[in-house]
Amino acid sequence: MAKQTAGRNQLGAFAPKFAELNDDVLFGEVWSRTEALSLRDRSLVTVVSLLSQGLVDSSFRFHLQSAKANGITKGEIAEIITHAAFYAG
């Protein structure tokens, strides 16, 4: 996995510790634990989690693109949204 720098690039000057945790822990350690959960499955969980919170901002769009890159099809995303709507509101 490539080194993540988005947190440092966008928040490093304002919140350096948060940027470090975002890049090194979340994306560096958690997302790389593919022996425990595949990137595809992590993307599915992330999309549903953001959707259930109503967070359909630029980070949601980023994670939708990541989900596609991780093997989730457009049809599956539509089905995920349909299914989650009845449980997450």
Q: Are residues 23 and 58 in the same domain?
A: no
How many domains, in total, are found in the chain? 2
| Token digits of residue 51 | 């959707």
CA 88 – CA 9 distance, rounded (Å): 32
Q: Are residues 3 and 43 in the same domain?
A: no
Q: Are residues 47 and 23 in the same domain?
A: no
Q: Are residues 88 and 48 in the same domain?
A: yes
CA 22 – CA 26 distance, rounded (Å): 5
Tens-digit pLDDT profile for residues 47-86: 999 999 998 888 899 999 999 999 999 999 999 999 999 9
Q: Are residues 48 and 8 in the same domain?
A: no
Parent domain of 71: 37-89
The model's pTM: 0.81
- Map residue 1 onto helix, strand or coil: coil
CA 87 – CA 40 distance, rounded (Å): 21
Tens-digit pLDDT profile for residues 10-36: 877 888 898 889 889 988 899 999 999
Q: Are residues 15 and 58 in the same domain?
A: no
Q: Are residues 57 and 18 in the same domain?
A: no
